[in-house]
Amino acid sequence: MKFSISREVLLQPLSQVVGVVERRQTLPVLANFMLVAREGQLTVTGTDMEVELISTVQADVSQEGEITVPARKLVDIIKALPDGSSITCSVSDDKATLSADRSRFTLSTLPASEFPATDQVESLENISVAETTLKKMMDKTSFAMANQDVRYYLNGLLFDFTGQQLRAVATDGHRLAICDLESDVDVSTDRQLIVPRKGVMELSRMLSGDDHEVILAIGRNHIRLVKGETTFTSKLIDGRFPDYKAVIPVGADKQMLVDKAMFLQALQRAAILSNEKYKGVRLEAAGSTIKIIAHNPQHEEAVEEIEAEFNFDRMAVGFNVTYLLDALMAIDTEQVSLELKDANSSCLVSAPDSDVNRHVVMPLKL
For residue range 293-316, what is the model confidence (pLDDT) as tens digits? 999 999 999 999 999 999 999 999
For the chain, the domains span: 2-114, 125-245, 248-361
Kindly state the average pLDDT of the residues 353-359.
92
DSSP per-residue string spanning 237-268: P-S----GGGTS-SS--EEEEEEHHHHHHHHH
Q: Mean pLDDT, the chain, as a whole number?
A: 94
For the chain, percent of residues with pLDDT exceeding 70: 99
Gap between the Cα atoms of 350 and 249, Å rounded = 12
Residues with Cβ within 8 Å of 262's Cβ and at least 6 positions away in sequence, in order, are 306, 307
Is the pLDDT confidence value at 119 over 70? no
Q: What are phi and psi of 224, to 5 degrees?
A: -135, 140
Neighbouring-strand partners of residue 349: 338, 359
Q: What percent of the chain has pLDDT over 90?
A: 84
Q: Do domains 2-114 and 125-245 have the same CATH topology?
A: yes
Residue 239 bridge partners (DSSP): none
| CATH annotation of 2-114 | 3.10.150.10
Entry field: residues in the chain = 366
Confidence (pLDDT) at 155: 97
Which pLDDT does position 118 carry in this prediction?
A: 72
Higher pLDDT, 100 or 182: 100
DSSP designation for 141: T
Please provide the DSSP assignment of 259-301 as one string: EHHHHHHHHHHHHTTS-TTT-EEEEEEETTEEEEEEE-TT--E
Q: How far apart are CA 162 and CA 165, in angstroms?
A: 5
Quickly state the pLDDT bin for 184 (edges 50, 70, 90): confident
- According to the model, what pLDDT value does residue 245 have? 94
**Burial class, 222, CB count within 10 angstroms (exposed 0-12 / middle 13-18 / buried 19+):** buried
* pLDDT tens, position by position, 229-259: 999 999 999 999 999 999 999 889 999 999 9
pLDDT in tens, 128-158: 888 999 999 999 999 999 999 999 999 999 9
Amino acid letter, 193: L
State residue 43's pLDDT score.
97
In which element (H, E) is residue 35 found? strand 32-38
The pLDDT of residue 358 is: 96
Contact 179, 101 (CB under 8 A): no
State how far the alpha carbon of 187 is from the alpha carbons of 127, 129, 210, in Å.
7, 12, 23
Name the amino acid, one letter, at 267: L
CB–CB of 192/233 below 8 Å?
no
Cα 291–Cα 297–Cα 299 angle in degrees, nearest 5: 60
Contact 358, 350 (CB under 8 A): yes
Provide the Cα torsion 208, 155, 215, 58; round to 10°. 60
Identify the residue with better confidence: 194 or 219.
194
Query: Topology of domain 248-361, per CATH?
Result: DNA Polymerase III; Chain A, domain 2 (3.10.150)
Whether residue 101 has pLDDT greater than 70 = yes
Measured CA distances, 182 to 10, 136, 212, 337 (Å): 38, 11, 16, 20
DSSP 110: B
Asked if the model's pLDDT at residue 30 lies above 90, the reply is yes
The pLDDT of residue 246: 94
The pLDDT score that the predictor gives to residue 193 is 95
Give the closest residue to 222 by CA, choosing from 116, 156, 123. 123
Q: Class assignment of domain 125-245?
A: alpha beta
